[in-house]
Amino acid sequence: MLEIRNLHAKVGEQEILRGIDLEVRAGEVHAIMGPNGSGKSTLANVLAGREGYEVTAGSVLYQGENLLELAPEERARRGIFLAFQYPVEIPGISNTYFLKAALNAIRKSRGLPELDAIEFLQLVREKAKLVEMDEALLNRAVNEGFSGGEKKRNEILQMAVLEPKLAILDETDSGLDIDALKIVARGVNSLRDKERAVILVTHYQRLLDYIVPDRVHVLFEGRIARSGGKELALELEREGYAGIDERGAERELKEREVCGR
């Protein structure tokens, strides 16, 4: 489904990705881990087509197509979904209106009929239950005044409604309590089937207790330093990123201090 070859990318003058190779097949869940600044979020944003990220070398094929040539909305219409690390507020536009506009834009691009208000409402209510989202939030402006946890849940609701082929979750677990984490996991697991793939970008192992990955990759300084099965995540949890690199160890230590762990 997704083939990343020797991907290099920079933000401003700084090279963040320095040769990523990754293959994701339909039906798989990949976890991408690594210390802060290793390039995890950059990778997620490059895949979604965010401006300000310049690809300097390498290629990305998605369903046999050159992904990098596509505008962000074209990628979305082909089934790529990014759950944002920091979901954006859009004042004045209700959550349902936004989601309906998105869903119908995607359906239209696939030659499917647009859903009318009633059909859509049925769908969104059903999905809202899945992520235990209060219906009141559906009528509020997109993410405006939402708590951190509500924003993340809203991302999962959008994912559940849009039913992407490739979902990329950018640190969706950060800042969530255990109950919210389970809800997010339920949303992702309900989407798992042999047609779809998921990339989980995460800093911590705990999300992987609920969404068991097929593969775990450790990103370090813009490259995949190690890959393995789900055991790798547990190993990282025990030993930190120290095992990856000495500098990584230092950084990890600092981060732990900052986080007060």
CB of 253 to other proteins, least distance (A): 32
CB of 189 to other proteins, least distance (A): 22
What does the alpha-carbon distance between residue 163 and residue 76 come to, in Å, rounded to a whole number? 11
Cβ nearer to other proteins, comparing 43 with 216:
43
**Three-state secondary-structure class, residue 192:** coil
Nearest to 211 by CA among 194, 179, 188: 188
Tokens (6 digits) for 84: 């944002």
Cβ nearer to other proteins, comparing 4 with 208:
4
**Helix segments in 110-261, DSSP class H:** 117-130, 135-138, 148-162, 178-191, 231-239, 246-259
140 Cβ neighbours under 8 A, 6+ residues apart: 94, 95, 146
Opening angle at CA 80, ends 17 and 103, nearest 5? 145
CB of 55 to other proteins, least distance (A): 6
Check: CB of residue 24 under 8 Å from CB of residue 166: yes
CB of 45 to other proteins, least distance (A): 9
CB of 202 to other proteins, least distance (A): 19
What does the alpha-carbon distance between residue 237 and residue 206 come to, in Å, rounded to a whole number? 9
Cβ nearer to other proteins, comparing 93 with 234:
93
Cβ nearer to other proteins, comparing 159 with 232:
159
Which parts of this chain interact with other proteins (CB under 8 A)? Answer: 48-51, 53-55, 68-73, 75-77, 81-82, 84, 87-93, 98-99, 101-103, 105-106, 109, 141, 158, 162
Cβ nearer to other proteins, comparing 81 with 120:
81
